[in-house]
Amino acid sequence: QVQLVESGGGLVQAGGSLRLSCAASGTIFSIETMGWYRQAPGNLRELVAAISRRGTINYADSVKGRFTISRDNAKNTVYLQMNSLKPDDTAVYYCNADIKSTAILPLRNYWGQGTQVTVSS
């Protein structure tokens, strides 16, 4: 079994910062892409940022220059540093990862339970 556990969400004023963490645990052989998605009420879930095992990074245009994704492969953990937060960043943020539990099994996609980020104006 594999679990993704997020932490670090909360309430912050516009212009403030938050740092999200997501740790993968369980039977893990390797983790490929790790990323963060968000979903605001009434909206579809959207990609915020993703990072490959080798460090290739993609950001949504709306967060470029404000958010930074990073990962610690030794700790099976991905981070999202969010600066200059705006009310439009308010959403539930979900961690996502492609994980192989053994060398034989194929990659499987996992989601965390989500963490609320609320940015007040």
- For residue 84, what are its two tokens? 């200059």
- pLDDT of 112 reads 97
Torsion of CA 9, 13, 14, 16, to 10 degrees: -60
* pLDDT at residue number 26: 97
Query: Per-residue confidence of the chain (121 residues) as pLDDT tens digits?
Result: 899 999 999 999 999 999 999 999 999 999 999 999 999 999 999 999 999 999 999 999 999 999 999 999 999 999 999 999 999 999 999 999 999 999 999 999 999 999 999 999 9
pLDDT of residue 80: 98
Separation of CA 31 from chain center: 14
pLDDT for 59 equals 98
Q: What is the CA radius of gyration of the chain?
A: 14
Q: pLDDT value at position 63?
A: 98
**Structure tokens that stand for 18 in this block:** 């938050």
Confidence (pLDDT) at 25: 97
Instruction: Identify whether the C-beta of residue 73 lies closer than 8 Å to the C-beta of residue 99.
Output: no
